[in-house]
Structure 1
């Protein structure tokens, strides 16, 4: 068993409704069902009984629940102890889903090093299933993320760096590639790449998902190859389009989409740490500098 699956199980057990649980976890309902099914196979026991109005716990599920909570708590305590020891040794970790552009990253590192030359800043790329870029489970101290729908980040603080326009990435020979703009009605019948969490590369808001096919992707490389091969389309933010160009991909502005909010996140209990505050400040100032330079170019 891994703690992520146990966390999914606990949230589902508390909500007794897979769709609501998936929204809280920032994953799709099919992805949650898949992970629960995997956990049930591993334990060789059914944990839930499905019904029209939701789910109920089986005897096995009721037995697992208190132990799952204990394991999750112990995991968080262990990660916290390790994190504190690394901080004492002069290390801080910046997590992200997609590597920021080198212009932004260089400014962040330079600015932070000027304030904390004794602290080594580590960079950690995490998969999109970590809604806080690893901050939520202690893998990262500070994270660069796109704010989830609803703006909820349980247990985390965040600072909004700024809104970004949404573009639709498609193959260069896609029938919409020559359009100046496209709207939600143009996506009917399309296959849209989605990620396990709501972030910067996801299904576009307002796309009318009831009229499209969706396909889950897990990495930017998989996404770009799939788009260039004509297997589907995907919503990109302006910064993702700038950081990850691909010769086989065309980008068309998506009209009617809500802007994506790029944010920096950290844990509530770490607000008193000067190195965390200074890293957040370095990110905020670097983002302002890079975006101002880009807008003046």
Structure 2
């Protein structure tokens, strides 16, 4: 099976539309359809069910989508890490969600820089859930992830911090007079919709809440009374005077971890992780 064929199939399987997949790949639709048909004949099983109105995955197609994504990520990882290994200057690329764990990150970078022989650390600030993909594809060597929101399967991890969550509400909202709230109250009594974050493909889920792209935009929308959000307790340190944080009793705890690929042989990554666990 060729990498090109896998890339074609994954595009169709994700879009569930040959026209959109062809546009995404930058090719015409007929050769894309022929390539998928050849792949199905070679594998001896249909991967897609096609009608005049829809395209759906078969059970075999679902398996190939999962395995194909992993295979394409592995190919990209091999290329990226090989290119980076050829550079003379040792460095570590750390991916973290923008505005998350800022205080912890600052302490980590300061402590690591004081270590003898510390490598240069490049920090990639990401949108929600992006740091996991950067780590899987080799564009980052290590990442700060947050359970239960980020998927840490397949990584080695060390837990750094576990904390509760708070509701961030506009100043003057009736719930800001409460010492604590519950999730059901945020849904039923707050009168504000939750924000909508972009999916990995850049599209937004349906819903009444505003579309948001970053933390600064989110806080401004909260202050304007257009939305509310739930965030880890440590977010309090970054809040403005026009928003208020109230602890959420039944929100799941958030565990911040430092994660790296188990195949890593980088001494710089090992030293950075060791520094993080000492903080």
Please give the TM-score of this superposition, normalised by the length of structure 1.
0.65
- 1:281 is matched with which residue? 274
CA distance in 1, matches of 2:218, 2:178: 21
SS at match of 2:258: strand
Q: How does 1:1-297 map to 2 (within 5 A)?
A: 10=10, 13=13, 39=21, 41-43=23-25, 55-56=56-57, 72-86=73-87, 88-99=88-99, 103-117=103-117, 119-132=119-132, 134-149=134-149, 152-189=151-188, 190-196=192-198, 216-242=211-237, 244-270=238-264, 272-286=265-279
Name the larger-Rg structure: 2
Cα displacement (A) at 1:66:
9.9
- Give the TM-score of the pair, scaled to structure 2: 0.69
Count of residues in Structure 1 that have an aligned counterpart in Structure 2? 241
Residue 158 and residue 33 in structure 1: after superposition, are their counterparts in 2 closer, same or farther (change >3 A)? farther
Task: Give 5+ residue unaligned stretches, structure 1.
Answer: 1-5, 14-31, 198-211, 287-297
Q: Unaligned regions of 5+ residues in structure 2, if any?
A: 1-5, 37-47, 200-206
Partner of 2:40: none
Q: Are the counterparts in 2 of residues 182 and 255 from structure 1 also a CA contact under 8 Å?
A: yes
Structure 1, residues 90-148: CA drift from partner, whole Å, max 9, x if none? 21112210246665344322332333435212222122241527222222211112123
In the alignment, the residues of structure 2 paired with residue 166 and residue 259 of structure 1 have an alpha-carbon distance, to the nearest angstrom, of 7
Structure 2 partner of 1:295:
none
SS in 2 for 1:122: strand
Instruction: Give the Cα separation in 1 of the matches to 2:84 and 2:217.
Output: 32
CA contact (8 A) 1:96 1:133 kept: no
Please give the per-residue CA displacement for 1:253-277, whole angstroms capped at 9, x wherever unaligned: 111111111111111111x322111
**Given that residues 131 and 144 in structure 2 are in contact (C-alpha distance below 8 angstroms), is that contact kept between their aligned partners in structure 1?**
no
Whether the aligned pair in 2 keeps the contact of 1:179 and 1:252 (CA below 8 Å) is yes
Deviation of 1:83 (Å): 2.9
CA-atom RMSD in angstroms: 4.1
Cα distance between partner residues in 1 of 2:215 and 2:16: 22
Distance of 1:129 and 1:155 partners within structure 2? 15
CA distance in 1, matches of 2:163, 2:66: 41
Deviations 1:265-295 (A, max 9, x none): 111111x322111101112222xxxxxxxxx
Report the alpha carbon displacement of residue 237 of structure 1 after superposing the two structures with TM: 0.7
Partner secondary structure for residue 184 of structure 2: helix
